[in-house]
Amino acid sequence: MDDDVKKEIRKFALQNAVEYDGKTNAKIVLAKILGSRSELRNNVKEVAEECSIIVTNVNAISLSEQKSEIKTSFPELLTYTKKSVEERHGLPPLEGAVQGEVVTRFPPEPNGYPHIGHAKAAIINEEYAKMYCGKTILRIDDTNPENERLEFYAAIKVGLEWLGIKYHKIKNTSDDLEIIYQKGKEIISSNKAYVCTCKRDIIGKNRREMKSCKCSQLDQNKNEDRWQKLFDEYSPGQAIVRFRGDMKSQNTVMRDPFLFRIIEGHHPLLEEKYRVWPSYDFAVAIEDSLDDVTHAFRSKEYELRNEIYYAILDALNMRKPKVLEFSRLEFKGMPVSKRVIKPLIENGKISWYDDPRLPTLEALKKRGITPEAIRKFIISLSFTKADTLAPFDALESFNRKEVDSKSIRLYQVKNPRKLLIKNLPFTEVEMSNHPTTDMGKRVVEVDGNIYLSADDTKNIAIGSQLRLMGLGNVKINRVGNDFEGEFIGDDVNVDFPKIQWVSQKNSHNLKILIPKQLFIDEKFNEDSLEELEVFTEPHYLGLKDGAEIQFVRFGYCRKDSANQAIYTHK
C-alpha cells in the first residue's frame, strides 16, 4: 500500500483519537479514508487491515503524544479546525483557551421546562468546546429537593437532544454529595466556615447591618461538633453552615453566605437519604473544579457571586476555573419565569408549557421553530452585553431561511367565497410542491367549483380577470354572494391579480392557531391566540405531523394534527 495512504490513515486516526480522549476506532477511520479517497473502495479489505494496524498503534500512545504528533506531522489539522470554526460560528475567541484543553459545562436545575435561556447557555458551552476541540459536560444541578422533580430531568434531556447538543459526559451534582460533604467538613476544620444557629431574621438583620453573630466566634472544635449535628440532631432552619466572608463587604453576597442547610424534602433521585444540602455557590464551585471545567459560563445576574465562587475554592486550595458571563436571553412579551406562567395555566389562559406563545423549547418546536435556527440566532447574539429583550422576529428571520427550502407550498382560503368556473377544459391540474427545491408535484382534481378567500373577492366586478395560480385565467361574469366566471386560457404573461384557490369537492377544513405576543406592557394579552378557520387542499392530510408548510400568500405553518396547524411566521 502507498505510504501516502498510510499517512492519511494515520492522520484520520490521530484526529479522531484526540477528539475522543485518546482512543479511536478502526471502523470510523476506515469510513473516513474511504470517504476521502473513493479509489480505495475497490480494495476495502486491505485498507481495513491497514486501518486496524494503525489504530492499534495510535491507541497505544498517550493523548499528549497524539497531540504532539499532530502538531509536528499534521499541523494543517489545527489551523483547519480553527479557521473553519471562526467562519462558521462567529463566537469570539475564548480568553486563555488552549486547543484540546477546554472543558465547559451546562448546569441546569431540574425545576422547570427548558426554555430559550437554557438553549443559549447550552449552545454557547457546546460551541466553545467544539471550537477548541474540548469537552462539554451536562451537569444537572439538583441540590434543592424542594424545587426539583424527576419529570424535569427528563424534560431537560429531551429539550437538549432536540437542540442537537452533544455532551462528553452527563452527571448530577447530587451524585457527588458525599464529596461535597467532605469539602464541607474540610472548610469547617480549616476554620473558614462556621455553623450558625441564629434565627433567620437575625441573620438577615446582621447582614444588612454588617454585624457578625456570636456563632462566628466559636472555635473550630465546637464547629466540628455542630457540623455533625446538622446530620442527626438539628431540625430544618435551626442551623446553617456559613462561609467566613466579610460582614463589612460592599458586596452583600460576601457577608458570610450560607454553604449548607437542612432540607427534609423528597429528592427526585436520592429520596430521603440526605437532609443536608449545599448552597448553589458551594456546589457549583466544587463541582466545576472537580469536573476539570476550564471556562464556567453563567448569565450576568450571577456576576456578584463570582467573588464567593473564587473565595470558596481558595479556602479549599482547589483549582479555579475561569468564570465568564453572558447576558440573559428573553423575548419581548414572552416570559420564561414559572412564577408568571404557572398562574396562567391554572387560570386556563394558556394550555400548558408547550403553548405556542411561550419560549419553552417544547413550545418553539410546536410552533415550527427549528433547532438550527435557534443555534444560528444565539450565535449571532454572541456576547452582546446588554440585557435587552430580543425581538422574536430576529429568530423568525433565521428560521425562515431554514424552513423555506423544506416547506411544501399549499393553498388555503379563509372566509371562503364560491366561484363556479365554466368551460374548464380539464378535470385535474398538476402543481409543483416547491418553486425551486425538487419536492415533487401534486395532482389536484377540479370540476370548476372552487373557493376563493373573501379578501381576494372584494374588488371583483363583472368583467374582472384573475390569474388563479396553477389553474389558469378566469374572467368574471357574475358577482354576488357566489361568483361565476369562465376559463380564458393559461397565458402566464398577464398582469391579472394572482390569487390562490381551493377546489371545493376535496377541500379540507383546518384550524390555524396564530400565536401573538403574550404580554403587552406587562399585561396579559387576551388576544394573544387567534384561531382561524380555513379550507386547504387535501394534500395537507398526507403530510407528517410536524411538517412545515408555506401557505401561499399567508405564511409558514407547522402541521400539528390533521385538523390543526400552528402559524410559524410570515
Which residues lie near Zn ion (CB under 5 A)?
A: 196, 198, 213, 215
Q: Which is nearer to Zn ion, 194 or 483 (by Cβ)?
A: 194
Length of the chain, please?
A: 570
**Closest separation in Å from C-beta 108 to Zn ion:** 33
The single residue listed with the C-alpha cell 403574550 is: 518
**Closest separation in Å from C-beta 518 to Zn ion:** 44
Q: Which is nearer to Zn ion, 131 or 213 (by Cβ)?
A: 213
Q: Which is nearer to Zn ion, 191 or 449 (by Cβ)?
A: 191
Query: Angle between the 280-290 and 306-315 helix axes, to the nearest 10 degrees?
Result: 60
Q: Which is nearer to Zn ion, 199 or 406 (by Cβ)?
A: 199
Chain centroid, CA 17 distance in Å:
28
The Cα–Cα gap between 280 and 277 comes to 9
Q: Which is nearer to Zn ion, 195 or 534 (by Cβ)?
A: 195
**Closest separation in Å from C-beta 143 to Zn ion:** 23
- Can you list the positions of beta strands (E) in 118-158? 135-140
* Residues 408 and 436 sit within 8 Å (Cβ to Cβ): no
Nearest to 454 by CA among 417, 507, 411, 496: 417
536 — phi, psi (to 5°)?
Answer: -130, 180
3-state secondary structure of 165: coil
Q: Which is nearer to Zn ion, 215 or 336 (by Cβ)?
A: 215
Q: CB count, 10 Å around CB of 165? A: 20
**Closest separation in Å from C-beta 62 to Zn ion:** 51
Q: What is the dihedral of CA 145, 149, 154, 157, to 10 degrees?
A: -40
Q: Which is nearer to Zn ion, 196 or 263 (by Cβ)?
A: 196
**Closest separation in Å from C-beta 314 to Zn ion:** 23
Q: Which is nearer to Zn ion, 124 or 262 (by Cβ)?
A: 262
3-state secondary structure of 55: helix
The single residue listed with the C-alpha cell 437532544 is: 161
Query: Residue 526 is inside which H or E element, if any?
Result: none
The Cα–Cα gap between 236 and 231 comes to 10
Query: Exposed (0-12), middle (13-18) or buried (19+): which is 441, by Cβ within 10 Å?
Result: exposed
**Closest separation in Å from C-beta 298 to Zn ion:** 29
Nearest to 444 by CA among 466, 427, 468: 427
SS (H, E, C) 465-487: EEEECCCEEEEEEECCCCEEEEE
Q: Which is nearer to Zn ion, 255 or 539 (by Cβ)?
A: 255
* Residues 223 and 194 sit within 8 Å (Cβ to Cβ): yes
Q: Which is nearer to Zn ion, 248 or 300 (by Cβ)?
A: 248
The Cα–Cα gap between 248 and 217 comes to 16
Nearest to 457 by CA among 421, 488, 500: 500
**Closest separation in Å from C-beta 255 to Zn ion:** 12
**Closest separation in Å from C-beta 59 to Zn ion:** 57
Q: Which is nearer to Zn ion, 249 or 449 (by Cβ)?
A: 249
Nearest to 493 by CA among 467, 471, 474, 475: 467
Residue type, 518: L
In whole angstroms, how far apart are CA 16 and each of 8, 58, 303? 12, 10, 37
**Closest separation in Å from C-beta 351 to Zn ion:** 48
**Closest separation in Å from C-beta 226 to Zn ion:** 10
Cell numbers for 434: 416547491
The Cα–Cα gap between 531 and 513 comes to 5
**Closest separation in Å from C-beta 242 to Zn ion:** 8
Q: Which is nearer to Zn ion, 238 or 337 (by Cβ)?
A: 238
**Closest separation in Å from C-beta 248 to Zn ion:** 17
The Cα–Cα gap between 386 and 328 comes to 9
**Closest separation in Å from C-beta 251 to Zn ion:** 20
The Cα–Cα gap between 2 and 6 comes to 6
The DSSP bridge pattern shows strands 564-569 and 555-561 to be antiparallel
Q: Which is nearer to Zn ion, 155 or 230 (by Cβ)?
A: 230
**Closest separation in Å from C-beta 228 to Zn ion:** 17
249 — phi, psi (to 5°)?
Answer: -65, 145
Q: Which is nearer to Zn ion, 258 or 519 (by Cβ)?
A: 258
The Cα–Cα gap between 26 and 237 comes to 58
